[in-house]
Every structure is written in structure tokens, then in C-alpha cells.
Structure 1
Amino acid sequence: MRDSLRGRLDTHVSSAALTIIAFGVVIAGLVYGRPFLLPLALAIFLWNLMEAMVQGFSSVEIAHNRAPRWLATLLGVLTVGLGFYLIFTVLLGQVDAINAALPHYLTRFQSIVADLTEWLGPERSTKIRDAFGGINVAAWLPSVISSTQSIVVTALLIIAYIAFLFVEQGQVGSKIAGIFPDKDKAEETSRLLKEISGSVRRYIWFKTIVSVLTGVACYAVMRLEGIDFAESWALLIFVLNYIPNIGSIVGVAFPCLLALVQFETLTPFFVLITTLTSIQVVIGSVLEPMLMGQGLNMSPFAIILSLAFWGMIWGIAGMFLSVPILVIIIVVCAHVPKWRWVAVLLSKDGKVTV
């Protein structure tokens, strides 16, 4: 009896030790494999966005006829390409305006700092001046240039990955059949992959709609208030809205801070911070749950944990990917009886359907 209990205890300890070691190996692989894994993950994210658009174009009927696959794919790729083109056009088109407005911003900023230091007193004022005086913008330039080159190379690699994903898409079924000779196992694996892909695409599609509505509403408010570069801030809010919780806060903060140095009074700042926050709360807390419904049953706490974890592993790009990765983990764990408890913990209401 005692030997049996000891044997089972040793088995559990060995299993726990192997699990911890495997988890450590996975974490190390994610950290050190970032240069390879991150572009691939971003490519899969964008490919799912395009595929969601392709399915949307394919479902549109004109005179009881639907667009062929090749035409829907072309329209989806052109839509995403047009979106990126508009983003870069808007940003590059405002470079001259930023250079022209920069002296006014610096003057206003120095005035704010002077008023603040006068209010804080001479001792704290000296510390603030020393802190700002120690900032050397020129020392940042080499790292900025290096980061820009890295972004360009990564973007080209992502485009190549997306192109090959579209090419390989039609061969997935035959590859699964080759991996699993058992027909039932092959069908089950195919259904699992379709469910994962459908859940990720549903999230990306609804999040894109919500982000567009948020960006347009915030743009209208900023335009009415006369905020400089409202188009750029609206695009930034649209992009950052893909980062759960934190993205909306950061997106609102930037135009509000600009209002402090653009205007001579604090009224526009308070108007912006109130209206933009209200838009984020209404769309994020009311409209977004209505659109997504119960299709993505994820715990808010699990979303925060995923955001923190992937942000620590892969930085800002990991934050963008945190929720799609969480969706994949929930779907996979729900289909594996041994790991079903993980899907239950990560779900919002504990109800996990397969």
C-alpha cells in the first residue's frame, strides 16, 4: 500500500517537473525565437484579416451570383493595401505641418513648465530643469534609424509570409489527410483548425469594425475642437484600439496632451479628455460586447494576463496579438479533455462548448 502511494506520488512529481521544464523551454523559445516567430505571427494575424474580408466579399450576392474566390481575394488584398496606403499618405502628408507647428508647441511647453516650476518652488524647479536638461535627443537618432530599418525588413518578410499563406491555403486539407491516415482523426483535426480560424477571424473582423467606429467618432470630436493633425490621431486611435484596455487609454492620452501645448487655455483639454473617454467607454463597453456576443467567451482577467504576458515577451506587437493567441489557446484546450480545465478558467462564464 505504502509502495503504491509512493509510486503514484513519484509519478505526479515527475509529471509536474516535466511540465515545468516544458513550460520553461517554451518561454525560452518564444523569447529567443522572437526574430523568427513574431513576423510569422503578425503575418498570420494579417492573413486572417484579409481572409475575413475575402469571405465577406464572397458572401455578397449580386443578381443571385456570388463573386468567385479569385475576385474576392483580389478585393480583400486591395482593401487592406488601400488602408495601409491611406495611413502612410496621411502620416507623410503632415510632416511639414508638424515642423511648422513645433516652435509654437515648444514655446507653450516651456511656458507650462515655467508655471509648474514656479508653483512647485525653487528646489523642485531645479530638479525638473535638470531632468529635462539631461534629455539628449541626438543620442536617440541612431537607435531610431536602426529601428526603422528593422521595421522595413520585418514588413517585407511579413508580406512574403502572407503571400505564401494564400498559396498554401488550398493544400491544407490534403496535408492533414496525409498526416492522419485515420479519416475520423483527420476530420476532427480539420474541424479544430476551422474553429480556431473562424474564432480568430471573427474577433479580428468585429475588432476592426469597432476600431473604425472609434476612430471616426474621435476624429469628428477632434476636428470640431480644432486639434492639429486630427487625422493622424484618429489613425493612432484606430490602431491602438486593437490592444485591449491599455490601447484605448494611450490613444486618448496623446491628443489630450497635444491640446495642452496647442491652446492657451485648459478648456479644450478637459473637453477632449471627457468626450474621447466617453466614446471609448460607450463603444468598448456597450457596442463591442453587442457585436461579439457570446462567440468569444473570454474572461476579462484572462485578457489582461495575456496582454501582460505577450507584451513582456514580444513587446507592443505581442499586445496586438494577445487576444487572438488567447482565443487559440481556449479553443485548443476545449478540445483536449486533459486541458479542458484551462479553457474553463480562461472563459468568461465557465461554459466551454466544443
Structure 2
Amino acid sequence: MSRISDQQSSIHASGIALPIIAFGIIVIGLIYGRPFLLPLALAIFLCNIMEAMVQGFSSVKLWDFRVPRWLATLLGLATVGLGVYLIFTVLLGQVDAINATLPRYLSRFQTIAGNLTEWLGPDRSARVRSAIAGIDVMGRLPTLIASTQSMIITVLLIIAYVAFLFVEREHVGTKIAAMFSDPRQAANVSKLLEEISHSVRRYIWFKTIVSVLTGVACYAVLRFEGVDFAETWALLIFILNYIPNIGSIIAVAFPCLLALVQFDSLKPFLVLVISLTAIQVAIGSVLEPMLMGKGLNMSPFAIILSLSFWGLIWGIVGMFLSVPILVIIMIVCAHVPSWRWIAVALSRDGSVTA
């Protein structure tokens, strides 16, 4: 009897240990496979954005004319190209303005640093000055150049991935049908992949709408207060808003810190902190849950966990991809009976449909 109980205990222990070991292997693979997996994940994400645009243009109907797919594809590529052009135009167009205002910023920063050192006392101010003097900008320049070259190579690789993935989408259904001898199983797999793509595209649309509204509202406030480079800060707010929770905090912090250096009084700083925070809270806490909660039914706590995990594994890019990856995990787990409890735990109200 004791032997049977020992066998049952060992089986139970192995049943617990195997998932833990498998999870550890997956995490190690995600960390060490980052140079390969991260560009591929970004390419899949961008490919879904392109497909969402193509489907959006394809759904346009004027009387009896419906936009064909080839024309919708060209319009989608033109939209992406226009967006990239506008981004680089905004950023490069303000280089001269940055060079012109940099001496004033440095002078203002030295004044603030002097006031801060007086408040800290002679000992601590000496430590601050020595720490600032110890920053070797020229010594880090080769590392910065190398990282820039690596980033350019990664961007070119992502573009190549997106191009080939977009072409391969036409043959996905044929490949799935050839993989499975059972037509019903092939249909289920195709339906699962389509549901994943549809949910990811829905998240992208919702988040884009929220980010555009947030960026425009913040731009109006920044322009009204006379903050320098309002266009750049609005663009940064739009981009960072794709990072759940943390992105909005960072987006508010940067222009507010600039206001401390740009203006001689604290009034613009306080106005920006209050107004930009109010915009983020109003849109992020009212409008976004109305769209995201009903559309994706994800638990806010699960979103935070996913943000922390993927940010730890893949950094800032992992934070951008955290919610789409969570959507994929939820849908896959909802379709596997033994994993359904995971989808229920990740959902907002426990309602999961497979």
C-alpha cells in the first residue's frame, strides 16, 4: 500500500516538475534567442498592421465599386510610407531648432544644478559635480555607433521579414490544408489562426485610435503652453501610448521635465503635469477600457504581468508586444480544453469563448 502511495506521489511530483522545467527552458530560449525571435515577432506584428490596413481599404465600397485587393495593398503601403515620411520630417525638421535652443537649455540646466547643489550642501554637491564630470561621452561614442549600425541592420531584416510574410499570407490556407489529412482539423487550425489575427488587428485599431486622440489632445496643451518641440513630444506620446500603463507615465514625464529647463517659473511645469495627466487618465481610464474591455476581455492584472514579463525578457520592444502576445496566449488556451483554465484566469470576467 505504501509502495502504491509512493508511486502516486512521484507521479504527482513529476506532473508538477515537468511544466516548471518546460517553462524554464522556454524562458531561457526567449532570452538567448532574442536576436532571432525579436525581429521575427516585430515583423509578424507589423504584418498584421499591414493586413488590417488592406482589409480596411478593401471594405470601402462606392456604389457598385469595391476596392480590389491589389489596390488596397498599394494604398496600405502608401499609408505606411506617408506615416514614416511624416515621422522623419517632424524629427529631422527640428534638428536646427534643437541646436539653436541647446545653449539656452544648458544655461538653464546649470542654474538649476547650482541651486540643487546649494540645497544639497557642499559634500553632496561635490559628489554630484564629480559624477557629472566623470561622464565620458566621447568614450561611449564607438559603442553608440556600433549599436546604431546594429539597429539599422535589424530594421532592414524586419522589412525583409514583413515583405516575405505578406507575400506568404496568400498560401497559408493551402499549406494548412496540406499539413492535415483531416479537413475538419485543418479548418479548425485555419479558424484559430484567423481568430488570432483578427483579435490582434482589433487591438491595433483600438490602441491606434486611443493613441491618436491622446497625442492630439496633448499636442494642443503643449502648443498652448508654448513648449518647444510640441510636435516631437506629441509623436512620442503617440508611440509610447502603445506600452500599457507605463508608457503614458513616461510620455507625460518627458515634456514636463523639459518645461522645467525651458521656463523660468514652475507654473508651466505644474500646468503640464495636471493637464497631461488628466488627458491620460480620461482617455486611458474611460475610453480605452470601453474599447479594450468589451473587445478583448483581458484582465488588467494580466496585462501588467505580461508587460513586466516581456519587458524583462525583450526590453522596450517586449513592452510594445506584450498585449498582442497575451491575446495570442488567451485564444490558444481557450481552444485547448486542458489549458482553458489559463484563458479564464487571463480574462477580465471569466467569460471565454472557443
Q: Shorter-normalised TM-score: what interval?
A: over 0.9
Distance 1:166 1:250 in 2: 33
For 1:261, the equivalent position in structure 2 comes to: 261
The SS at the match of 1:258 is helix
Over residues 272-305 of structure 1, what are the superposed CA-to-partner deviations in whole Å (9 max), with x where a residue is unaligned?
1111111111111111122334221111111111
Q: CA deviation at 1:3?
A: 4.0
For 1:12, the equivalent position in structure 2 comes to: 12
For 2:133, the equivalent position in structure 1 comes to: 133
The answer to whether the 8 A contact 2:293-2:348 is kept is no
Distance 2:321 2:219 in 1: 25
Bigger Cα displacement from structure 2, 129-138 vs 143-152: 129-138
Flag as ranges the 4+ runs of structure 1 deviating above 4 A: none
Aligned residues: 354
The change in CA–CA distance for 1:3 and 1:294 in structure 2 (over 3 A counts) is farther
Q: Name the TM-score, length of structure 1 as normaliser.
A: 0.97
Amino acid at match of 1:202: R
Q: CA deviation at 1:2?
A: 4.0
For 1:270, the equivalent position in structure 2 comes to: 270
Percent identity over paired residues: 72
Distance 1:281 1:64 in 2: 44
Superposed, 1:141-220 pairs within 5 Å as: 141-220=141-220
Distance 1:347 1:62 in 2: 39
Amino acid at match of 2:11: T
Amino acid at match of 2:200: V
Bigger Cα displacement from structure 2, 186-195 vs 4-13: 4-13
For 1:242, the equivalent position in structure 2 comes to: 242
For 2:310, the equivalent position in structure 1 comes to: 310
Distance 1:309 1:15 in 2: 24
Distance 1:278 1:141 in 2: 39
Q: CA deviation at 1:15?
A: 2.6
Superposed, 1:78-97 pairs within 5 Å as: 78-97=78-97
For 2:115, the equivalent position in structure 1 comes to: 115
Distance 2:66 2:5 in 1: 65
The SS at the match of 1:139 is coil
1:99 aligns with 2:99: yes
Amino acid at match of 1:95: V
Amino acid at match of 2:251: G
Bigger Cα displacement from structure 2, 257-266 vs 16-25: 16-25
The change in CA–CA distance for 1:113 and 1:243 in structure 2 (over 3 A counts) is same
Q: Could you list the runs of 5+ residues in structure 2 that have no partner in the other structure?
A: none
For 1:338, the equivalent position in structure 2 comes to: 338
Distance 1:171 1:314 in 2: 30
For 1:51, the equivalent position in structure 2 comes to: 51
Over residues 213-249 of structure 1, what are the superposed CA-to-partner deviations in whole Å (9 max), with x where a residue is unaligned?
1111111111111111111111111111110001111
Distance 1:16 1:293 in 2: 33
Q: Could you list the runs of 5+ residues in structure 1 that have no partner in the other structure?
A: none
Amino acid at match of 1:278: A
Bigger Cα displacement from structure 2, 60-69 vs 155-164: 60-69
The answer to whether the 8 A contact 2:91-2:232 is kept is yes
Distance 2:292 2:306 in 1: 19
For 1:279, the equivalent position in structure 2 comes to: 279
Amino acid at match of 1:194: E
Distance 1:4 1:189 in 2: 41
For 1:27, the equivalent position in structure 2 comes to: 27
The SS at the match of 2:48 is helix
Amino acid at match of 1:108: R
The SS at the match of 2:264 is coil
Q: CA deviation at 1:348?
A: 1.2
Q: CA deviation at 1:120?
A: 2.4
Amino acid at match of 2:42: L
Q: Name the TM-score, length of structure 2 as normaliser.
A: 0.97
